[in-house]
Structure 1
Amino acid sequence: MTLLETLTHRHTTKAYDKNRKIPASIVTQLLEALRYSPSSVNSQPWHFFVADNDAGKARIAKATSGVFSFNVNRVLDASHVIVLCARNTLSPDYLQTLGAQEQADGRFATDEARDVAQKGRATFVGLHEQAGDVATWAQKQTYIAQGFLLLSAAFLGVDATPMEGFEASILEEELGLKEKDLTPVVIVSLGYHSDADFNARLPKSRLPEQAIFTPL
Protein backbone atom coordinates (compact mmCIF):
# COMPACT_ATOMS: atom_id res chain seq x y z
CA MET A 1 0.00 0.00 0.00
CA THR A 2 1.01 3.61 -0.51
CA LEU A 3 1.35 5.87 2.52
CA LEU A 4 -2.05 7.44 1.86
CA GLU A 5 -3.67 4.03 1.47
CA THR A 6 -2.10 2.93 4.74
CA LEU A 7 -3.35 6.04 6.54
CA THR A 8 -6.90 5.67 5.28
CA HIS A 9 -6.99 1.91 5.82
CA ARG A 10 -5.92 1.92 9.48
CA HIS A 11 -8.56 2.28 12.16
CA THR A 12 -9.00 1.81 15.88
CA THR A 13 -9.94 -1.84 16.16
CA LYS A 14 -12.96 -2.61 18.36
CA ALA A 15 -12.85 -6.42 18.33
CA TYR A 16 -10.05 -8.93 17.72
CA ASP A 17 -9.83 -12.43 16.32
CA LYS A 18 -8.41 -14.20 19.38
CA ASN A 19 -7.21 -17.12 17.26
CA ARG A 20 -4.84 -15.09 15.09
CA LYS A 21 -1.33 -14.32 16.29
CA ILE A 22 1.08 -11.81 14.83
CA PRO A 23 4.07 -13.60 13.25
CA ALA A 24 7.27 -13.27 15.25
CA SER A 25 9.06 -11.51 12.39
CA ILE A 26 6.42 -8.78 12.35
CA VAL A 27 6.43 -8.42 16.14
CA THR A 28 10.17 -7.83 15.95
CA GLN A 29 9.62 -5.00 13.46
CA LEU A 30 6.93 -3.41 15.63
CA LEU A 31 9.18 -3.42 18.68
CA GLU A 32 11.96 -1.91 16.61
CA ALA A 33 9.54 0.84 15.53
CA LEU A 34 9.18 1.71 19.20
CA ARG A 35 12.90 1.48 19.88
CA TYR A 36 13.77 3.72 16.93
CA SER A 37 11.11 6.35 17.66
CA PRO A 38 12.49 9.88 17.87
CA SER A 39 12.62 11.83 21.12
CA SER A 40 13.81 15.25 22.20
CA VAL A 41 17.64 15.26 22.56
CA ASN A 42 17.47 11.48 22.11
CA SER A 43 16.25 11.24 25.72
CA GLN A 44 14.27 8.03 25.05
CA PRO A 45 12.25 8.68 28.24
CA TRP A 46 10.15 5.54 28.06
CA HIS A 47 9.81 1.88 28.88
CA PHE A 48 7.50 -0.69 27.24
CA PHE A 49 5.84 -3.74 28.80
CA VAL A 50 4.94 -6.38 26.19
CA ALA A 51 2.35 -9.11 26.78
CA ASP A 52 2.20 -11.92 24.21
CA ASN A 53 0.40 -14.58 26.28
CA ASP A 54 -2.87 -14.95 28.17
CA ALA A 55 -1.29 -14.48 31.60
CA GLY A 56 0.42 -11.25 30.63
CA LYS A 57 -2.67 -9.84 28.94
CA ALA A 58 -4.79 -10.75 31.98
CA ARG A 59 -2.49 -8.67 34.18
CA ILE A 60 -3.00 -5.65 31.95
CA ALA A 61 -6.74 -6.29 31.64
CA LYS A 62 -7.12 -5.84 35.41
CA ALA A 63 -6.78 -2.11 34.79
CA THR A 64 -9.73 -2.09 32.38
CA SER A 65 -12.36 -2.99 34.98
CA GLY A 66 -15.33 -0.89 36.05
CA VAL A 67 -16.01 2.13 33.88
CA PHE A 68 -13.39 0.95 31.37
CA SER A 69 -14.75 -2.59 31.02
CA PHE A 70 -15.45 -1.96 27.32
CA ASN A 71 -11.69 -2.36 26.80
CA VAL A 72 -11.35 -5.74 28.54
CA ASN A 73 -11.80 -7.91 25.44
CA ARG A 74 -9.68 -5.53 23.37
CA VAL A 75 -6.85 -6.52 25.67
CA LEU A 76 -7.62 -10.19 26.25
CA ASP A 77 -8.42 -11.09 22.62
CA ALA A 78 -5.54 -9.24 20.96
CA SER A 79 -2.41 -11.04 19.85
CA HIS A 80 -0.04 -8.68 21.68
CA VAL A 81 -0.57 -5.82 24.11
CA ILE A 82 1.98 -3.13 24.93
CA VAL A 83 1.90 -0.73 27.86
CA LEU A 84 3.79 2.43 26.95
CA CYS A 85 5.23 4.07 30.07
CA ALA A 86 7.06 7.36 30.57
CA ARG A 87 9.92 8.01 32.96
CA ASN A 88 9.05 10.41 35.77
CA THR A 89 12.63 11.62 36.10
CA LEU A 90 15.77 11.61 33.98
CA SER A 91 18.56 11.09 36.46
CA PRO A 92 22.26 11.86 35.84
CA ASP A 93 22.91 8.10 35.82
CA TYR A 94 20.29 7.60 33.10
CA LEU A 95 21.74 10.45 31.04
CA GLN A 96 25.15 8.83 31.40
CA THR A 97 23.69 5.55 30.13
CA LEU A 98 22.36 7.35 27.05
CA GLY A 99 25.74 8.94 26.40
CA ALA A 100 27.57 5.65 26.78
CA GLN A 101 25.24 4.00 24.28
CA GLU A 102 25.72 6.80 21.79
CA GLN A 103 29.48 6.44 22.24
CA ALA A 104 29.26 2.69 21.64
CA ASP A 105 27.12 3.25 18.54
CA GLY A 106 29.76 5.54 17.04
CA ARG A 107 27.87 8.83 17.11
CA PHE A 108 30.85 10.88 18.22
CA ALA A 109 33.87 11.56 16.06
CA THR A 110 35.73 13.16 18.97
CA ASP A 111 35.56 13.42 22.74
CA GLU A 112 34.64 17.07 22.30
CA ALA A 113 31.60 16.11 20.21
CA ARG A 114 30.54 13.67 22.92
CA ASP A 115 30.88 16.29 25.65
CA VAL A 116 28.90 18.86 23.65
CA ALA A 117 26.05 16.37 23.08
CA GLN A 118 25.91 15.31 26.71
CA LYS A 119 26.01 18.90 27.94
CA GLY A 120 23.23 19.87 25.55
CA ARG A 121 20.99 17.03 26.72
CA ALA A 122 21.67 17.82 30.38
CA THR A 123 20.79 21.46 29.70
CA PHE A 124 17.39 20.57 28.24
CA VAL A 125 16.65 18.18 31.09
CA GLY A 126 17.69 20.86 33.56
CA LEU A 127 15.29 23.37 32.00
CA HIS A 128 12.41 20.93 32.45
CA GLU A 129 13.50 20.15 35.99
CA GLN A 130 13.39 23.87 36.77
CA ALA A 131 9.93 24.07 35.22
CA GLY A 132 8.82 21.02 37.19
CA ASP A 133 7.46 19.27 34.12
CA VAL A 134 9.94 16.49 33.36
CA ALA A 135 7.23 13.82 33.70
CA THR A 136 4.87 15.71 31.37
CA TRP A 137 7.67 16.24 28.85
CA ALA A 138 8.48 12.52 28.94
CA GLN A 139 4.84 11.61 28.40
CA LYS A 140 4.70 13.84 25.31
CA GLN A 141 7.73 12.02 23.91
CA THR A 142 6.07 8.68 24.65
CA TYR A 143 3.10 9.67 22.49
CA ILE A 144 5.53 10.13 19.60
CA ALA A 145 6.52 6.49 20.08
CA GLN A 146 2.85 5.52 20.03
CA GLY A 147 2.42 7.27 16.69
CA PHE A 148 5.35 5.37 15.21
CA LEU A 149 3.91 2.10 16.51
CA LEU A 150 0.44 2.72 15.08
CA LEU A 151 1.71 3.74 11.65
CA SER A 152 4.15 0.84 11.53
CA ALA A 153 1.42 -1.61 12.49
CA ALA A 154 -0.85 -0.34 9.72
CA PHE A 155 2.00 -0.52 7.20
CA LEU A 156 2.62 -4.14 8.18
CA GLY A 157 -1.07 -5.08 7.98
CA VAL A 158 -1.57 -5.30 11.74
CA ASP A 159 -4.61 -3.83 13.46
CA ALA A 160 -4.24 -1.74 16.61
CA THR A 161 -6.18 -0.12 19.42
CA PRO A 162 -4.65 2.74 21.44
CA MET A 163 -6.33 3.04 24.85
CA GLU A 164 -6.22 5.64 27.58
CA GLY A 165 -9.25 3.98 29.14
CA PHE A 166 -7.66 2.20 32.09
CA GLU A 167 -7.12 2.66 35.81
CA ALA A 168 -3.54 3.87 36.13
CA SER A 169 -3.35 3.01 39.83
CA ILE A 170 -4.21 -0.64 39.15
CA LEU A 171 -1.61 -0.90 36.41
CA GLU A 172 0.97 0.82 38.58
CA GLU A 173 0.46 -1.77 41.30
CA GLU A 174 0.31 -4.75 38.95
CA LEU A 175 3.53 -3.84 37.14
CA GLY A 176 5.34 -2.22 40.07
CA LEU A 177 5.62 1.05 38.16
CA LYS A 178 6.10 3.41 41.09
CA GLU A 179 9.15 1.44 42.19
CA LYS A 180 10.47 1.74 38.65
CA ASP A 181 9.71 5.50 38.57
CA LEU A 182 7.38 5.04 35.58
CA THR A 183 3.93 6.33 34.66
CA PRO A 184 1.61 4.33 32.36
CA VAL A 185 0.65 6.58 29.46
CA VAL A 186 -1.27 4.43 26.99
CA ILE A 187 -2.04 0.79 26.23
CA VAL A 188 -1.87 -0.43 22.62
CA SER A 189 -3.44 -3.73 21.59
CA LEU A 190 -2.19 -5.35 18.39
CA GLY A 191 -3.55 -8.19 16.28
CA TYR A 192 -6.15 -8.80 13.59
CA HIS A 193 -9.75 -7.63 13.74
CA SER A 194 -12.67 -10.04 13.84
CA ASP A 195 -15.97 -9.84 11.99
CA ALA A 196 -17.40 -8.14 15.09
CA ASP A 197 -15.20 -5.10 14.51
CA PHE A 198 -17.80 -2.67 13.20
CA ASN A 199 -15.21 0.09 12.88
CA ALA A 200 -13.40 -1.82 10.13
CA ARG A 201 -16.40 -1.30 7.85
CA LEU A 202 -16.94 2.40 8.48
CA PRO A 203 -15.54 5.14 6.24
CA LYS A 204 -12.97 7.57 7.58
CA SER A 205 -14.24 10.91 8.81
CA ARG A 206 -11.88 13.86 9.08
CA LEU A 207 -12.31 17.63 8.88
CA PRO A 208 -11.60 19.08 5.41
CA GLU A 209 -8.19 20.47 4.56
CA GLN A 210 -9.34 24.10 4.65
CA ALA A 211 -10.49 23.64 8.25
CA ILE A 212 -7.13 22.51 9.61
CA PHE A 213 -4.44 23.94 7.31
CA THR A 214 -3.55 27.62 7.01
CA PRO A 215 -1.11 28.56 4.24
CA LEU A 216 1.40 31.27 5.18
Structure 2
Amino acid sequence: MDTVTLAKRRYTTKAYDASRKIPQATVDALLEQLRHSPSSVNSQPWHFVVADSAEGKARIAKSTEAFAYNTPKILDASHVIVFAARTEMPESHLQAVLEQEAADGRFRTEQARAGQAQTRLGYVDLHRFDQKDLQHWMEKQVYLALGTALLGAAAHGLDATPIEGFDSKVLDAELGLRERGFTSVVLLSLGYRSEEDFNAGLNKSRLPAPAVFTFL
Protein backbone atom coordinates (compact mmCIF):
# COMPACT_ATOMS: atom_id res chain seq x y z
CA MET A 1 0.00 0.00 0.00
CA ASP A 2 1.35 3.45 -0.89
CA THR A 3 2.18 5.94 1.85
CA VAL A 4 -0.54 8.41 0.82
CA THR A 5 -3.21 5.76 1.31
CA LEU A 6 -1.69 4.85 4.67
CA ALA A 7 -1.69 8.48 5.78
CA LYS A 8 -5.32 8.88 4.79
CA ARG A 9 -6.38 5.62 6.42
CA ARG A 10 -4.68 5.99 9.79
CA TYR A 11 -6.36 7.99 12.54
CA THR A 12 -6.13 8.48 16.29
CA THR A 13 -7.78 5.52 17.96
CA LYS A 14 -10.01 6.35 20.93
CA ALA A 15 -10.85 2.84 22.21
CA TYR A 16 -9.04 -0.50 21.97
CA ASP A 17 -10.10 -4.13 21.92
CA ALA A 18 -8.37 -5.38 25.07
CA SER A 19 -8.69 -9.01 23.94
CA ARG A 20 -6.44 -8.63 20.90
CA LYS A 21 -2.64 -8.73 21.00
CA ILE A 22 -0.21 -7.70 18.29
CA PRO A 23 1.81 -10.67 16.98
CA GLN A 24 5.38 -10.60 18.26
CA ALA A 25 6.81 -10.64 14.74
CA THR A 26 4.87 -7.46 13.95
CA VAL A 27 6.07 -5.80 17.16
CA ASP A 28 9.66 -6.74 16.36
CA ALA A 29 9.37 -5.27 12.87
CA LEU A 30 7.87 -2.03 14.14
CA LEU A 31 10.52 -1.63 16.82
CA GLU A 32 13.25 -2.20 14.25
CA GLN A 33 11.72 0.52 12.11
CA LEU A 34 11.57 2.76 15.17
CA ARG A 35 15.24 2.10 15.91
CA HIS A 36 16.06 3.33 12.42
CA SER A 37 14.20 6.63 12.81
CA PRO A 38 15.97 9.75 11.49
CA SER A 39 17.48 12.32 13.82
CA SER A 40 19.51 15.49 13.35
CA VAL A 41 23.18 14.59 12.72
CA ASN A 42 22.24 11.04 13.72
CA SER A 43 22.22 12.16 17.35
CA GLN A 44 19.63 9.56 18.44
CA PRO A 45 18.90 11.33 21.75
CA TRP A 46 16.17 8.92 22.80
CA HIS A 47 15.14 5.83 24.67
CA PHE A 48 11.94 3.79 24.28
CA VAL A 49 10.19 1.84 27.04
CA VAL A 50 7.85 -0.85 25.70
CA ALA A 51 5.04 -2.32 27.80
CA ASP A 52 2.88 -5.26 26.73
CA SER A 53 1.95 -6.83 30.06
CA ALA A 54 -0.96 -5.72 32.24
CA GLU A 55 1.53 -4.84 34.96
CA GLY A 56 3.71 -2.76 32.66
CA LYS A 57 0.77 -0.86 31.19
CA ALA A 58 -0.61 -0.23 34.69
CA ARG A 59 2.69 1.38 35.68
CA ILE A 60 2.49 3.73 32.71
CA ALA A 61 -1.19 4.45 33.41
CA LYS A 62 -0.27 5.84 36.84
CA SER A 63 0.79 8.98 35.00
CA THR A 64 -2.73 9.60 33.66
CA GLU A 65 -4.52 10.21 36.95
CA ALA A 66 -5.17 13.82 35.91
CA PHE A 67 -5.97 12.68 32.37
CA ALA A 68 -8.41 9.86 33.15
CA TYR A 69 -9.79 9.79 29.59
CA ASN A 70 -6.40 8.46 28.45
CA THR A 71 -6.16 5.64 31.00
CA PRO A 72 -8.22 3.08 29.02
CA LYS A 73 -6.21 3.84 25.88
CA ILE A 74 -3.17 2.59 27.79
CA LEU A 75 -4.67 -0.30 29.74
CA ASP A 76 -6.70 -1.73 26.82
CA ALA A 77 -4.02 -1.34 24.15
CA SER A 78 -1.89 -4.31 23.16
CA HIS A 79 1.38 -2.39 23.56
CA VAL A 80 2.39 1.04 24.84
CA ILE A 81 5.65 2.77 24.02
CA VAL A 82 7.10 5.56 26.14
CA PHE A 83 9.15 7.94 24.00
CA ALA A 84 11.83 9.55 26.17
CA ALA A 85 14.40 12.21 25.36
CA ARG A 86 17.80 12.69 26.90
CA THR A 87 18.07 15.37 29.56
CA GLU A 88 21.60 16.19 28.41
CA MET A 89 23.98 15.19 25.65
CA PRO A 90 26.99 13.62 27.41
CA GLU A 91 30.28 12.83 25.73
CA SER A 92 29.69 9.14 26.46
CA HIS A 93 26.62 9.13 24.23
CA LEU A 94 28.34 11.03 21.44
CA GLN A 95 31.22 8.57 21.58
CA ALA A 96 28.88 5.56 21.55
CA VAL A 97 27.12 6.87 18.43
CA LEU A 98 30.45 7.52 16.72
CA GLU A 99 31.77 4.05 17.55
CA GLN A 100 28.58 2.44 16.24
CA GLU A 101 28.86 4.41 13.01
CA ALA A 102 32.43 3.20 12.62
CA ALA A 103 31.40 -0.40 13.31
CA ASP A 104 28.66 -0.08 10.69
CA GLY A 105 31.14 1.08 8.08
CA ARG A 106 30.11 4.72 7.87
CA PHE A 107 33.68 6.04 7.59
CA ARG A 108 36.17 5.28 4.84
CA THR A 109 38.94 7.30 6.47
CA GLU A 110 39.88 8.58 9.91
CA GLN A 111 39.41 12.07 8.52
CA ALA A 112 35.78 11.27 7.74
CA ARG A 113 35.29 9.95 11.26
CA ALA A 114 36.82 13.06 12.80
CA GLY A 115 34.71 15.27 10.57
CA GLN A 116 31.49 13.57 11.60
CA ALA A 117 32.39 13.86 15.28
CA GLN A 118 33.18 17.55 14.91
CA THR A 119 30.01 18.29 12.95
CA ARG A 120 27.77 16.53 15.46
CA LEU A 121 29.41 18.23 18.42
CA GLY A 122 29.07 21.54 16.61
CA TYR A 123 25.30 21.14 16.38
CA VAL A 124 25.05 19.98 19.98
CA ASP A 125 27.03 22.97 21.21
CA LEU A 126 25.00 25.30 18.99
CA HIS A 127 21.86 24.25 20.83
CA ARG A 128 23.55 23.90 24.20
CA PHE A 129 25.35 27.26 24.35
CA ASP A 130 24.17 29.59 21.58
CA GLN A 131 20.48 28.87 21.08
CA LYS A 132 20.18 27.42 24.59
CA ASP A 133 17.45 25.01 23.53
CA LEU A 134 19.24 21.67 23.73
CA GLN A 135 16.37 19.91 25.52
CA HIS A 136 13.83 21.20 23.01
CA TRP A 137 16.09 20.19 20.11
CA MET A 138 16.42 16.67 21.46
CA GLU A 139 12.67 16.40 21.98
CA LYS A 140 12.13 17.38 18.34
CA GLN A 141 14.19 14.35 17.34
CA VAL A 142 11.92 12.18 19.49
CA TYR A 143 8.91 13.45 17.56
CA LEU A 144 10.60 12.42 14.32
CA ALA A 145 10.71 8.92 15.81
CA LEU A 146 7.03 9.18 16.73
CA GLY A 147 6.14 10.01 13.13
CA THR A 148 8.15 7.04 11.95
CA ALA A 149 6.29 4.76 14.35
CA LEU A 150 2.86 6.09 13.39
CA LEU A 151 3.38 5.45 9.70
CA GLY A 152 4.95 2.08 10.50
CA ALA A 153 1.95 1.11 12.61
CA ALA A 154 -0.38 1.98 9.75
CA ALA A 155 1.72 -0.08 7.34
CA HIS A 156 1.35 -3.10 9.64
CA GLY A 157 -2.41 -2.66 9.93
CA LEU A 158 -2.24 -1.49 13.53
CA ASP A 159 -4.26 1.18 15.26
CA ALA A 160 -2.38 3.80 17.23
CA THR A 161 -2.83 6.73 19.60
CA PRO A 162 -0.14 9.31 20.35
CA ILE A 163 -0.70 10.62 23.89
CA GLU A 164 0.64 13.82 25.43
CA GLY A 165 -1.96 13.89 28.21
CA PHE A 166 0.06 12.38 31.02
CA ASP A 167 2.21 13.56 33.93
CA SER A 168 5.84 13.21 32.87
CA LYS A 169 7.10 13.78 36.40
CA VAL A 170 5.02 10.87 37.69
CA LEU A 171 6.04 8.62 34.82
CA ASP A 172 9.71 9.53 35.04
CA ALA A 173 9.68 8.60 38.73
CA GLU A 174 7.77 5.36 38.13
CA LEU A 175 10.21 4.20 35.45
CA GLY A 176 13.36 5.71 36.95
CA LEU A 177 14.01 7.64 33.74
CA ARG A 178 15.67 10.74 35.14
CA GLU A 179 18.23 8.69 37.03
CA ARG A 180 19.18 7.22 33.65
CA GLY A 181 19.42 10.62 31.99
CA PHE A 182 16.03 10.66 30.23
CA THR A 183 12.59 12.21 30.55
CA SER A 184 9.30 11.06 29.04
CA VAL A 185 7.98 13.14 26.14
CA VAL A 186 5.05 11.32 24.52
CA LEU A 187 3.32 7.94 24.68
CA LEU A 188 2.12 5.73 21.85
CA SER A 189 -0.61 3.14 22.35
CA LEU A 190 -0.80 0.36 19.77
CA GLY A 191 -3.27 -2.42 19.08
CA TYR A 192 -6.61 -2.97 17.42
CA ARG A 193 -9.58 -0.65 17.74
CA SER A 194 -12.72 -1.58 19.61
CA GLU A 195 -16.11 -1.60 17.92
CA GLU A 196 -16.95 1.18 20.39
CA ASP A 197 -14.31 3.51 18.93
CA PHE A 198 -16.42 6.41 17.71
CA ASN A 199 -13.51 7.99 15.86
CA ALA A 200 -13.19 5.03 13.50
CA GLY A 201 -16.38 5.94 11.70
CA LEU A 202 -15.74 9.66 11.32
CA ASN A 203 -14.41 11.23 8.15
CA LYS A 204 -10.81 12.38 8.32
CA SER A 205 -10.42 16.15 8.08
CA ARG A 206 -7.45 18.24 7.00
CA LEU A 207 -7.12 21.78 5.66
CA PRO A 208 -7.11 21.96 1.84
CA ALA A 209 -3.79 21.91 -0.01
CA PRO A 210 -3.83 25.65 -0.98
CA ALA A 211 -4.02 26.53 2.74
CA VAL A 212 -0.98 24.51 3.74
CA PHE A 213 1.38 24.67 0.76
CA THR A 214 3.28 27.57 -0.74
CA PHE A 215 5.20 26.88 -3.93
CA LEU A 216 8.16 29.07 -4.84
Instruction: Please confirm whether the aligned pair reaches a TM-score higher than 0.5, indicating the same fold.
Output: yes
Whichever residue aligns with residue 96 of structure 1, its letter is: Q
**Which residue of structure 1 aligns with residue 141 of structure 2?**
141
- Using the alignment, how far apart are the partners of 1:106 and 1:84 within structure 2? 28
Tell me, what secondary structure is at the counterpart of 1:49? strand
**Structure 2: how far apart are the matches of 1:110 and 1:207?**
48
Q: Deviations over 1:129-173 (max 9, x none)?
A: 103211110000000000000000001100000000001111011
Note the C-alpha offset of 1:63.
0.4
Secondary structure of the residue aligned to 1:206 is coil
What is the CA distance between 1:26 and its match in structure 2?
A: 0.7
Question: Which residue of 2 is the match for residue 11 of structure 1?
Answer: 11
Tell me the SS of whatever aligns to 1:179.
helix
Q: How does 1:30-41 map to 2 (within 5 A)?
A: 30-41=30-41
Match of 1:74 in 2: 73
- TM-score calculated relative to the size of structure 1: 0.98
Across the two proteins, how many residue pairs are aligned to each other?
A: 215
Pair 1:94 & 2:93 matched = yes
Q: Which amino acid aligns with 2:26?
A: I
Partner of 2:153: 153
Residue in 1 that maps onto 2:82: 83
Query: What is the match of residue 204 of structure 1?
Result: 204
SS in 2 for 1:19: coil
Distance in structure 2 (CA, Å) of the matches to 1:141 and 1:3: 21
Give CA-to-partner distance per residue, 1:26-67, whole Å, 9 cap, x none.
10111112100000000000000000110000000000112x
Sequence identity percentage: 54
State the superposition RMSD in angstroms.
Answer: 0.8
Correspondence for 2:27: 27
Q: Report the 3-state secondary structure (helix = DSSP H, G, I; strand = E; otherwise coil) of the residue aligned with 1:207.
A: coil
The TM-score with structure 2 as length reference comes to 0.98
State the distance in 2 between where 1:28 and 1:116 align: 34
Query: For residues 101 and 114 of structure 1, what CA distance do their matches in structure 2 show?
Result: 11
SS in 2 for 1:102: helix
2:124 and 2:205 map into 1 onto residues whose CA distance is 39
Gaps of 5+ in 2: none
How far apart are 1:215 and its partner, in Å?
1.6
Q: Deviations over 1:79-120 (max 9, x none)?
A: 000000000111111101110000111111111111111111
The one-letter amino acid of 1:75's match is I
1:168-183 alignment runs, 5 A limit: 168-183=168-183
